[in-house]
Amino acid sequence: MKIEWLSIDRVRPYPHNPRKNIETIDKVKTSIQRYGFNQPIVVDPQMFIVVGHTRYAAAKELGLAEVPVVIADLDEKRARAYRIMDNKAHDFTRWDVVDLKKEIEKLPDVEATGFSLKQLDDILFPELALIGKNNQHRRQHHIIVECASREDMNAVETLIRGKGFKRCRQSWH
Amino acid sequence: MSSKLALEWLPLDAVRPYTMNSRRNDQTVPVVVDSIRAYGFQQPIVIDRDNVIVAGHSRWRAARELKMEQVPVVRFEGTEQEAREYRILDNRSQEDSRWDPDLLKQELAELDNLPTGFSQEEIGNILKDMAISDTKKIEPTSFELVVDCESEDQQKELHQYVTKELGKVCRVLTI
């Protein structure tokens, strides 16, 4: 393994990355600004990102010229599989709310941890706790609605959004 | 921001888990073991100046199970308090990332039997009855709305609404 500092322009996001990270970029930006770039971006020999799309996006937004990179000797399919597996592994990890609370209470700047005040209230006042309720690993729950046409899909989306489901994506092929 | 992020190799036993780590990774470690076996050790463990882990507890445990003698590490340059903050923030920031079901399906469909951390059953469910996109087609013939739900209860509620009130056909997908 070798860590190289390379021009950020040489690193390429993987166009079919199945992990979406738009909502994580701000936290990672804060992390880089406060604590530095501690975890290199892993790329395949074609320089496509395998691990670290969020770090890359955050570095771009921060205007960093160079990023630390590890070039992994993986062929295309293995890089694609590892890209999924690295994210999947994270899904199995969960908080121990009791220990998390102990840690957070010791910190002078609790919001530095990435938790919002509301979420911290939930942890610090366990009667309100929502986090850590289930011991299962994190799951995503989707409903996929079959629609007759593009117009139908638009109409269904409006109705479903009206019910409070804000995360909808259209898909057609 | 001045960190040079220099790589070192240390004996596994010289690296110490943080005793107050608030992440539980018992279910993660076997996945990371398989991942290291299949794809190698690609991400150095982040440690503080006392060799205590800041990021990479699962990798360290996996390395121990694999009886690796040495592990690649990088140094966290901040204070002890900053290490505590970063330890939580690093995990917290990963929680908001999500799978794109369409892209995940497309990727999984082409990976033969390479390990991905998804079980065969999960892969079957993800691939099941989802139309395989035909890039040659110009006019799309299949329109689907993918809705994310916050919980299984919400998923059930939406399923009920879509099938009973809207009279639509829908599928339930849990990843």
> Residue B120: its chain A contacts at CB < 8 A?
none
User: Are residue A66 and residue A128 in the same domain, yes or no?
Assistant: no
Element (H or E) spanning A42, and its range? strand A41-43
User: Are residue A33 and residue A87 in the same domain, yes or no?
Assistant: yes
Q: Which of A71, A92, A113 is the last residue of a domain?
A: A92
Q: Is residue A56 part of a domain?
A: yes
User: Are residue A85 and residue A7 in the same domain, yes or no?
Assistant: yes
User: Are residue A66 and residue A14 in the same domain, yes or no?
Assistant: yes
Q: Is residue A66 part of a domain?
A: yes
Assess B28–A contact: CB distance below 8 Å, yes or no.
yes
Q: Nearest by CB to B116, which of A51, A81, A152?
A: A81
> The whole model's pTM is what?
0.78
pLDDT of residue B1: 45
Q: Which of A92, A119, A135 is the last residue of a domain?
A: A92
Average the pLDDT over B50-63 and give the result: 97
User: Are residue A104 and residue A31 in the same domain, yes or no?
Assistant: no
User: Which position has the token pair 């780590």?
Assistant: B21
Average the pLDDT over B20-47 and give the result: 95
DSSP track, A64-132:
-SEEEEEE----HHHHHHHHHHHHHHHHT-EE-HHHHHHHHHH-S-GGGGT--HHHHHHHHSGGG--TT
Nearest CA in chain B to A115: B92
User: Are residue A76 and residue A111 in the same domain, yes or no?
Assistant: no
Q: Is residue A25 part of a domain?
A: yes
Burial class (CB in 10 A: 0-12, 13-18, 19+), A53: buried
Q: Is residue A45 part of a domain?
A: yes
3-state secondary structure of B4: coil
User: Are residue A68 and residue A104 in the same domain, yes or no?
Assistant: no
CB within 8 Å: A142 and B155: yes
User: Are residue A85 and residue A101 in the same domain, yes or no?
Assistant: no
pLDDT of residue A15: 95
Write the CATH number for A10. 3.90.1530.10
Nearest CA in chain A to B3: A36
Q: Is residue A171 part of a domain?
A: no
B162: closest CA among A74, A95, A156, A112? A156
Q: Which two tokens stand for residue A172?
A: 């057609």
Q: Is residue A157 part of a domain?
A: yes
Nearest CA in chain A to B162: A145
pLDDT greater at residue B128 or residue B133: B128
Percent of chain A with pLDDT over 90: 59
Alpha-helical runs (H) found in B40-160: 57-65, 80-94, 101-109, 120-127, 152-160
Q: Which of A36, A71, A92 is the last residue of a domain?
A: A92
Q: Is residue A146 part of a domain?
A: yes
Under a CB-based contact definition with an 8 Å cutoff, are residues B129 and B148 in contact? no
> Residue B147: its chain A contacts at CB < 8 A?
142-145, 160, 165, 167-168
User: Which position has the token pair 């990672």?
Assistant: A28
pLDDT of residue B139: 66
Q: Is residue A169 part of a domain?
A: no
Going by pLDDT thresholds of 50, 70 and 90, the confidence category of residue B137 is: very low
pLDDT of residue A150: 87
User: Are residue A102 and residue A88 in the same domain, yes or no?
Assistant: no
Touching A: B residues 34-93, CB under 8 Å: 34-35, 38-44, 46, 54-55, 58, 72, 74, 76-78, 81-82, 84-93
Under a CB-based contact definition with an 8 Å cutoff, are residues B152 and B110 in contact? no
Question: What's the structural domain count of chain A?
Answer: 2
Residue A134 has pLDDT above 60, yes or no: no
ipTM exceeds 0.90: no
> Residue A3: its chain B contacts at CB < 8 A?
5-7, 44, 74
| Rounded-to-integer distance, Cα B111 and Cα B37, Å | 17
Assess A70–B contact: CB distance below 8 Å, yes or no.
yes
User: Are residue A9 and residue A79 in the same domain, yes or no?
Assistant: yes
pLDDT of residue A54: 96
Q: What range does the domain containing A120 cover?
A: 97-162
Residue B138 has pLDDT above 70, yes or no: no
User: Are residue A47 and residue A125 in the same domain, yes or no?
Assistant: no
CB within 8 Å: A141 and B155: yes
Under a CB-based contact definition with an 8 Å cutoff, are residues A5 and A12 in contact? no
Q: Which two tokens stand for residue A30?
A: 């804060």
pLDDT of residue A82: 98
pLDDT digits (tens, 9 = 90+) for B75-100: 999 999 999 999 999 988 888 888 98
Burial class (CB in 10 A: 0-12, 13-18, 19+), B1: exposed
> Residue A33: its chain B contacts at CB < 8 A?
1
User: Are residue A83 and residue A156 in the same domain, yes or no?
Assistant: no
